[in-house]
Structure 1
Amino acid sequence: MFETLKNTRVLVIGGSSGIGLATATVAARVGASVTIASRSRDKLDAAVARIGGDARAAVLDTRGLQAVESFFSDEPVWDHVVVSAAQTPGGPVRGLAVADARTAMDSKFWGAYHVAHAAKIREAGSLTFVSGFLSVRPSATSVLQGAINAALEALARGLALELAPVRVNAVSPGLIETPLWSGLSEEKREAMFASAAQRLPSRRIGQPEDIANAVLFLATTPFATGSTVRVDGGGAIA
């Protein structure tokens, strides 16, 4: 599976943990030359050790256009670029500081936009964003996240036309067991996952590898562009 990634150059932004790390690990396992990027050198070093092979790391904050442009100007053309990085403080619109809302938009939407603006990707290569199912299943306590995810998916569709024949897609995860939830105690986290699983048609919580499979499916499917693939356990219809 994903054998066509062998000997390709794959960049995973946000590859130091969670979905990004799972994506980078699978790509490296099938023979891709993988680079992961994020803001934390310590997390990157630990992730590279886990990925193994010839994986390498680059410190990159996608919120800054100049930093993104500088990074890509120094790199050869990529075969596949994945953007999974985001720090998005959340809460009700009337309870979330506007400055925090702007930070969330800068991180998840504008970060992806900067990458799309600057990345050098070969013809028939791919650019894939990781969004989230709140784009189609709004939450009264996560309005901003839903709006950002919807904007990211719309960006992918438009870029699929602008950047063609580079293929641009999005993957929209549901509830995934990642370090995002590490702030909760183990007891509360397990209780939340168990409760959510019972409400989902899949009867389980997603794992980072579930999303990695969807990301790499899009990257290796030459007829896939302008698509958003939901991998949410049925969360959007439950």
Structure 2
Amino acid sequence: MFGGSSGVGLAVAQRASLLGGTVTIASRNRQRLAAAAAQCDGLETASVDVRDADAVAKFFTGRDPFDHVVVSAAELSTSTLRDRPLSEARAAVESKLWGAIHVAHSARIRDTGSLTLVSGMLGVRPSGAATMLSVINAGLDTLAKALATEMAPIRVNCASPGRLDTPWWDHLSDSQRHDLFSKTAAALPVKRVGTADEVAAQIIHLMLNGFLSGSVVQIDGGGSAA
């Protein structure tokens, strides 16, 4: 589990552990890894920066093939393109898109196993307020579909969440967070934002359903249809 130290990634790790899986979470943030290990019994942790292709390759070297690999790692912010330094755009691509590519390139997965990527609603509903994130998420959706044919019989899918109540929004004040979630909820058929555990449930399904491959599954409270 790359990016399993918080949010959706940690929720997937917890669910997989409860199902009896032996779970390894990888993150570049050692403090978050320690905190995650304290919340889930039996976790193996590894300090790996997905932006570093050599580090990712080294992680898989000498290990037995995994049954399932999930990539939710991302260090980025929501922003416009033209009003921010290009260095921020490149950093976002390096983290979320190239990170997934690095894992896909080096991952050792059993033929009966799966690779699951995590994109987001902006891949199908792009926004100028988050141009690079829109581009990255669309790229991940396409990457999963292409890899499903390249890596077959290993199954490859992508989970595309809508707006979630996760630590990703901790940079906002309580009032800003409340206002954002309220506005989002009002526009959704389900009338609320999602949770990390709800997305994790879908990712576990993508891991375990042997007839799912090349799929991009929207978990967005009906946002893509509204």
Q: Same fold (TM over 0.5)?
A: yes
Q: CA RMSD in A?
A: 0.9
2:224 maps to 1:236: yes
In structure 1, what is the equivalent of residue 96 of structure 2?
Answer: 108
The one-letter code matched in structure 1 to 2:35 is A
Aligned counterpart in structure 2 of residue 33 of structure 1, from 10, 22, 44: 22
In structure 1, what is the equivalent of residue 73 of structure 2?
Answer: 85
5+ long unaligned stretches in structure 2: none
CA distance in 1, matches of 2:79, 2:192: 25
1:89 to partner: Cα distance: 2.8
Kept in 2, the 8 Å contact 1:90–1:96? The answer is no
In structure 1, what is the equivalent of residue 10 of structure 2?
Answer: 21
Count of matched residue pairs: 226
CA distance in 2, matches of 1:135, 1:41: 30
2:138 maps to 1:150: yes
The one-letter code matched in structure 2 to 1:62 is V
1:183 to partner: Cα distance: 1.1
Aligned counterpart in structure 2 of residue 140 of structure 1, from 108, 128, 144: 128
Q: Show the 5 A alignment for 1:1-238.
A: 12-52=1-41, 54-238=42-226
The one-letter code matched in structure 1 to 2:111 is E
CA distance in 2, matches of 1:96, 1:178: 25
Deviations 1:5-28 (CA, angstroms, capped at 9, x unpaired): xxxxxxx11000000000000000
1:227 to partner: Cα distance: 0.3
CA distance in 2, matches of 1:44, 1:74: 22
Matched residue SS, 1:142: helix
Deviations 1:178-221 (CA, angstroms, capped at 9, x unpaired): 10111111122122212211111111110001110111101000
Deviations 1:18-42 (CA, angstroms, capped at 9, x unpaired): 0000000000011000011101111
The one-letter code matched in structure 1 to 2:19 is V
Moved over 6 A (4+): none
Deviations 1:132-159 (CA, angstroms, capped at 9, x unpaired): 0101111121111111111111111111
1:93 to partner: Cα distance: 1.5
The one-letter code matched in structure 2 to 1:66 is D
The one-letter code matched in structure 2 to 1:232 is D
TM-score normalised per structure 2: 0.98
The one-letter code matched in structure 2 to 1:119 is A
Matched residue SS, 1:33: coil
Residue identity (%): 46
5+ long unaligned stretches in structure 1: 1-11
1:237 to partner: Cα distance: 2.6
